[in-house]
A and B are shown apart, each in its own frame.
Chain A
């Protein structure tokens, strides 16, 4: 889209002179750049209309209940409300750790399942061996268990890779951009039939 106005202007200015045609090539660039925000605005509503299976927020919480990574995926302004929901779900996780419900093969399993449903969100939890918790908030109301497990498995892989970074200080927030990108791609492919 940037190139075509430049080319059409250049064709007009052929008769004027070489320097003028060069100037004509440079001028429309600014016009082209001004078009881009329009495209962005047009693009966004189309994506938001897809909101059937959407994860709105993921979080990684350390073993002392300190937040290590917090990312919300809606442009809406209730990000604070999502943080509050995640904070409340930490209590539920603590309860589950200290009073194991069942004994036998399901004891001490990593995937904690549905923590608690609120008005239009569902909150899922996952616990690793180092008491690091992954929490996921989704707006989907009939999400499949297998999908959530796959999501957490991929998320765990991304988390292990982020922690293996020698420059990562355990206990501090995860600041790796690669981790953020991987998490966004995992979130985008949630719900669709995809590879492991």
Chain B
């Protein structure tokens, strides 16, 4: 779990809580590792789309393992068969374990039936990253999109997941939205289940 804020330092070792508690990783350690991951991939690709795909693949592996881990840890866990069930699982449980808080919002797309959006004011992975102008619409949130894709695929809901910047008036930095587009079979199954 990535620490969303500062890790509490105990002056006296006797004051530390006895239970092991939730494990936290320092944010700076993760930021360095992630920036190294992006740089490593940048030198090996020719275009932006390939870079996004590589970040997404890296996130996919994380997502698959996170799903297995959470299903084992959560008490009273049920296998999700409904669309809303798995979306709320991603929106609250997965976000809480990875980033320390639930995602900002979960919305249903208006134009198409199969689109859903999870938005966040600022993704934790993007906190220390600024995209140069010549990279266009590239978003390092492709890594988080890959994580979501891994979780959904593992749970039996194949989908195409992408990350986009959405400019918001009144704010300097744009909001980030993870767009989830489910495959045909998922919608058919959902309609059949009623």
Q: How large is the interface on A (under 10, 10 to 19, 20 to 34, 35 or more residues)?
A: 10 to 19
Describe B's contact surface by its main secondary structure. Answer: helix
**Residues on A with beta carbons closer than 8 Å to the beta carbon of B155:** 129-130
Q: What is the interface of chain A, defined by CB distance below 8 A to chain B?
A: 63, 107-110, 127-131, 156-157, 159-160, 163-164, 166, 170
B156 at the interface (CB under 8 A from A): yes
A129 — which chain B residues lie within 8 A by C-beta?
67-68, 71, 77, 79-80, 154-155
In angstroms, how far is the closest chain A Cβ from the Cβ of B149? 13
Which of A107, A157, A166 is within 8 Å of B72, CB to CB? A157
- What 0/1 pattern do residues 69 to 103 of B give for CB contact below 8 A with A? 10110000111110000000000000000000000
Q: How far is the CA of A129 from the CA of B150 in the complex (A)?
A: 13
- The bracket for how many chain B residues form the interface is 10 to 19
Chain B residues contacting A110 (CB-CB under 8 Å) are 77, 79
Q: Contacts A130-B155, A157-B72 known; A163 to B65 CB distance under 8 Å?
A: yes
Known A129-B155, A130-B154; contact A160-B78, beta-carbon cutoff 8 A: no
Chain B 13-33 near chain A by CB (<8 Å), digits 1 or 0: 000000000000000000000
Given known contacts A129-B155, A131-B156, A164 and B68 CB-to-CB distance under 8 angstroms:
yes
List residues 118-163 of chain B with CB under 8 A from any CB of chain A. 154-156
Smallest CB gap from B80: residue in A? A129
Q: Is B65 touching A130 in the complex (CB atoms < 8 A)?
A: no
- Contact (A128, B156) CB under 8 Å given A108-B81, A166-B61: no
